[in-house]
């Protein structure tokens, strides 16, 4: 039997699960690097997914705790889309994906891990990035740490502003 070592997963498995909303709590930590918030707007922000589908998996979330997509104020929705567009540019600049998946998972039945705070996923994709690991072992191989992805994306966002 082959073994895949992923010691960084032990912290997730053994840690006490938070009771609050991470999309509400992360922006107030006072340390965007530790929270993996790569960019802040006025009404929404961009954060790395702590349990990514692929390397560079981002999410755009409003600062306000809003659970219904159809209830998003127009200004918040507009800013989220602008941040998604900027995030797409940063991902293309720094990660050079072959494509991207963008989407909202609305409700637990639709796959939302956090269903009470609307957020948009941006998942970079590469030809051949789906391999046997998820199918046979229910394991995803992410080739870069969140801290490394954070640094790369912060640089990408900064380069877009100049």
Residue-wise pLDDT tens digits, 69-127: 999 999 999 999 999 999 999 999 999 999 999 999 998 888 888 889 999 999 999 88
Joined together, the tokens standing for residue 92 give: 């293309």
Res 147: pLDDT: 87
| Rounded Cα distance, 102 and 88, in Å | 9
Task: Tokens 């954060």: give the residue.
Answer: 47
Active-site residue identified among 65, 96, 117, 119: 119
106 contacts 38 by C-beta, under 8 angstroms? no
Minimal CA–CA distance to 101: which of 93, 116, 91? 91
| Rounded Cα distance, 123 and 101, in Å | 5
Task: Tokens 């229910």: give the residue.
Answer: 138
44 contacts 80 by C-beta, under 8 angstroms? yes
* Residue 119 bears catalytic tag: yes
Q: Is the pTM of this model over 0.95?
A: no
Domains, the chain? 21-161 (3.30.428.10)
Res 45: pLDDT: 98
85 contacts 60 by C-beta, under 8 angstroms? no
Collapse the DSSP code of 100 into the 3-class scheme (helix H, G, I; strand E, B; otherwise coil) and give the result.
strand
Phi/psi at 57 (nearest 5 deg)?
Answer: -65, 115
Q: Pick the residue with more confidence: 4 or 47?
A: 47
Q: Is the pLDDT of residue 16 over 80?
A: no
Q: What does the pLDDT look like over 24-46, one tens digit per residue?
A: 999 999 999 999 999 999 999 99
Q: Which residues pair with 40 in a beta bridge?
A: 45
Q: What does the pLDDT look like over 119-151, one tens digit per residue?
A: 999 999 988 776 544 544 455 556 678 888 889
Output the DSSP codes for 120-150: EEEEEE-TT---HIIIIIS-----S-HHHHH
């Amino acid at each position: 039997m082959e073994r895949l070592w992923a010691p960084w997963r032990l912290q997730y498995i053994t840690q006490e699960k938070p009771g609050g909303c991470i999309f509400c709590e992360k922006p107030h930590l006072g340390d965007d690097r530790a929270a993996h918030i790569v960019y802040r707007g006025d009404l929404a922000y961009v954060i790395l997914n702590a349990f990514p589908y692929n390397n560079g998996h981002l999410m755009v979330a409003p600062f306000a705790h809003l659970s219904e997509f159809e209830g998003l104020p127009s200004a918040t929705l507009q800013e989220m889309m602008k941040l998604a567009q900027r995030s797409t540019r940063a991902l293309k600049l720094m990660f050079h994906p072959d494509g991207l998946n963008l989407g909202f998972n609305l409700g637990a039945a639709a796959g939302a891990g956090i269903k009470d705070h609307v957020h948009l996923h941006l998942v970079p994709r590469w030809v051949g990035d789906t391999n046997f690991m998820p199918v046979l072992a229910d394991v995803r191989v992410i080739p870069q740490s969140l801290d490394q992805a954070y640094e790369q994306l912060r640089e990408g966002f900064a380069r877009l502003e100049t």
